[in-house]
Structure 1
Amino acid sequence: MTAGSFATGERAKRITEEPQIIEVPEHPSVIELHAYLERIRGDREMPDRADINPSEIARLLPNMIIAEAVNGGEDFRVRLFGTKLVELLGEERTGKLLSEFAEEGGAFSSDNPEAVQRRWLFVTQKAFFGRKPVFLKVPFAASGRLYLIGHCVSVPLTAGGTEPAQTLGGMFVTRADPA
């Protein structure tokens, strides 16, 4: 695959490294999504799912995931998995548990499915239990060559109360700088 392969519709085949947690978002769309969630959060500890107005963030929806906590955050069931995420990862994940990711022949099935599940659970649980946003970068590579960087955010959401019940995430990709 070449550096532009995602733009032509080919899918990422594997992740070469663990995600890198960063202090502040770097991608403009992650910054925009975080600013929106901060605005609707107001003076509460976390934003509430009911306060999200999809029309206000329609441009970002294809890159978003909403996951609902199962067993107190032991796992999460995906309620929304954006179309750009499906295209990038090669697997429709709406309705699945994070612990089921990459088990049915998705783009990362040749990668270690348990590693894929651990990555998603780690980031989601870090936001959920930490009760604050988590920002990260995720490298994608093929044939030993880094070609995309996923810029991500995971934010805990309440559902009518004060305790986290869901998470909202976003992933936006850029081409990796040639080395």
Structure 2
Amino acid sequence: MGGIAEGSFGGGERARRMTDEPQFIDAPEHPPVIEFFNYIESKRGNREMVDRADISPADLLRFLPNMIIAEAVDGGEDFRTRLFGTALVELLGEERTGKLLSEFAEENTIPTDPKAVQTRWLHITRKAFFGRKPIFLRVPFAASNRLYLVGHTISVPLTAGGSEPAQVMGAMFVTRADIQPA
């Protein structure tokens, strides 16, 4: 699989690699995130954002277990989860489909700080939604005290037949903090 994740967390410095803060990055680094982004870009064309009608679930089958789709509530104050992939449910210990982001982690089977989870998910989703462009992150699993895991994440705003964002679609792929993604 690989060696130390120098490209992911810079210079192999263990303290930096094990940080509990999300790290926004300028471009995708993880192969499935790159592939997901390239698909979105192919559908966006010359528009500012891709429209949800342009996304075909059949094209995204391999990503579905790792995906989330969240619909804006109250202009982006919160978001209702329309899809929360099975790999995410297993990893995070909670089925979150149908829940608001502000309700995440309240029924977790994995010991977690619900407020930290909610704050992080809302911050990341709002950043993509209000920024009107894809964002990329490396997210350590700090809220569940699993800093040895890192989520490689993309969040993309989607329109719904107009020019304003209506949803955010994303995906997260997890590796160990000390392993470079394959």
Aligned residues: 162
Q: What is the DSSP-based 3-state SS (H/G/I as helix, E as strand, rest coil) of the residue aligned with 1:92? A: coil
Instruction: Establish whether residue 104 from structure 1 lines up as the match of residue 107 from structure 2.
Output: yes
Matched residue, 2:153: 152
In the alignment, structure 2 segments of 5+ residues that lack a partner are: 1-17
1:143 Cα deviation (Å)? Answer: 9.9
1:45 Cα deviation (Å)? Answer: 0.5
Structure 1 stretches of 4+ with a deviation exceeding 2 A read 140-147
Cα shift readout 1:153-177 (whole Å, capped 9, x = no counterpart): 1000001110000000100011221
Instruction: Establish whether residue 172 from structure 1 lines up as the match of residue 150 from structure 2.
Output: no
Matched residue, 1:116: 117
Matched residue, 1:33: 36
Matched residue, 2:11: none
Cα shift readout 1:122-142 (whole Å, capped 9, x = no counterpart): 000000000001100011369
Question: What's the C-alpha RMSD, in Å, of the aligned pairs?
Answer: 2.0
1:57 Cα deviation (Å)? Answer: 1.5
Matched residue, 1:12: none
1:111 Cα deviation (Å)? Answer: 3.1
Instruction: Establish whether residue 17 from structure 1 lines up as the match of residue 20 from structure 2.
Output: yes
CA contact (8 A) 1:16 1:140 kept: no
CA distance in 2, matches of 1:90, 1:77: 18
CA 1:126–1:66 in structure 2 vs 1: closer, same or farther (change >3 Å)?
Answer: same
Instruction: Establish whether residue 80 from structure 1 lines up as the match of residue 96 from structure 2.
Output: no
Q: What is the DSSP-based 3-state SS (H/G/I as helix, E as strand, rest coil) of the residue aligned with 1:38? A: helix
1:46 Cα deviation (Å)? Answer: 0.2
CA 1:96–1:144 in structure 2 vs 1: closer, same or farther (change >3 Å)?
Answer: closer
Instruction: Establish whether residue 70 from structure 1 lines up as the match of residue 87 from structure 2.
Output: no
In the alignment, structure 1 segments of 5+ residues that lack a partner are: 1-14
CA contact (8 A) 2:20 2:147 kept: no
CA contact (8 A) 2:113 2:143 kept: no
Q: What is the DSSP-based 3-state SS (H/G/I as helix, E as strand, rest coil) of the residue aligned with 2:43? A: helix
1:52 to 43, 49, 55: 55
Q: What is the DSSP-based 3-state SS (H/G/I as helix, E as strand, rest coil) of the residue aligned with 2:99? A: coil
Q: What is the DSSP-based 3-state SS (H/G/I as helix, E as strand, rest coil) of the residue aligned with 1:84? A: helix
CA distance in 2, matches of 1:29, 1:78: 22
